[in-house]
Amino acid sequence: MDTLQLDTEQTTRQVPYLEDVTETIRDDAVEEARSKLSPFQSALSLEQLLEDDGFVDYFKYGLVSGVAKALAANDKHVQAIYALDPSANPDSETGASLPVEMTMHLIVKVSRSSAALEAFVDSLDKAMVRSLQSLPSPRFQMRTSILDVTVVTVEDVRRRVGYAALLSSMFAPALKIWERAD
């Protein structure tokens, strides 16, 4: 019974912390995306901006950067974090752009994987969804998940197996978002 109570207390303490973290990530991403716009565009309401795929693309990159920093700060075994765009087609010659897909696809390279990292990702995902649902946009209202995180080990990268092979792909490489300084 004490263990259950202790787990409940820890969960209760983590929820406000994650809510604060995700609100900061969201707000910083909005401000960063606004800073990339012209003065006329940046004066638009957030609701109007969230209808613009250009703004949303900047916003998504800000979210990815913030999530990467949160993951790295939470686990010392995280060595690098990469963003992956599964909708990217390097052979596309049309030049047409697709609507921005909001799921954040990340590859997290670790020295050692752990259940704690997976649990943190799950909790961060839920808190991120709640934070984004507070925005004035239908893009987020029906979401139940926003993070798609694949953890790969240094050994996976060395052997180039599974998603780890994408880190050295010439055709559709993952974009390095964060790396631990040695």
Local structure of 153: helix, strand or coil: strand
In the beta sheet, which residues pair with residue 82? 107, 176
Q: Is residue 104 within 8 Å of 67, Cβ to Cβ? A: yes
For residue 78, give both structure tokens. 């995280």
Please tell me the predicted confidence (pLDDT) of residue 10: 45
What are the extents of the domains in the chain? 2-89+101-179
- The token pair that represents 104 in the structure block: 């954040």
> What does DSSP assign to residue 56?
H
Buried-exposed string 123-136: b where 16+ CB fall within 10 A, e elsewhere = bbbbbbbbbbeebe
Q: What long-range pairs does 51-54 form, CB within 8 A, spacing at least 24?
A: 51/137, 53/97, 53/99, 53/100
The pLDDT value given to residue 8: 39
Task: Give the integer Cα–Cα distance in Å for 68 and 126.
Answer: 16
Integer Cα distance of 46 and 56 in angstroms: 11
pLDDT tens by residue, the chain, 182 residues:
333 233 434 444 456 789 999 999 999 999 999 999 999 999 999 999 999 999 999 999 999 999 999 999 999 999 999 999 876 544 445 455 556 789 999 999 999 999 999 999 999 999 999 999 999 999 999 999 999 999 999 999 999 998 898 888 887 778 999 999 87
The reported pLDDT for the residue numbered 48 is 97
Helix (H, G, I), strand (E, B) or coil at 178: strand
pTM of the model: 0.84
Cβ atoms of 110 and 82 within 8 Å: the answer is no
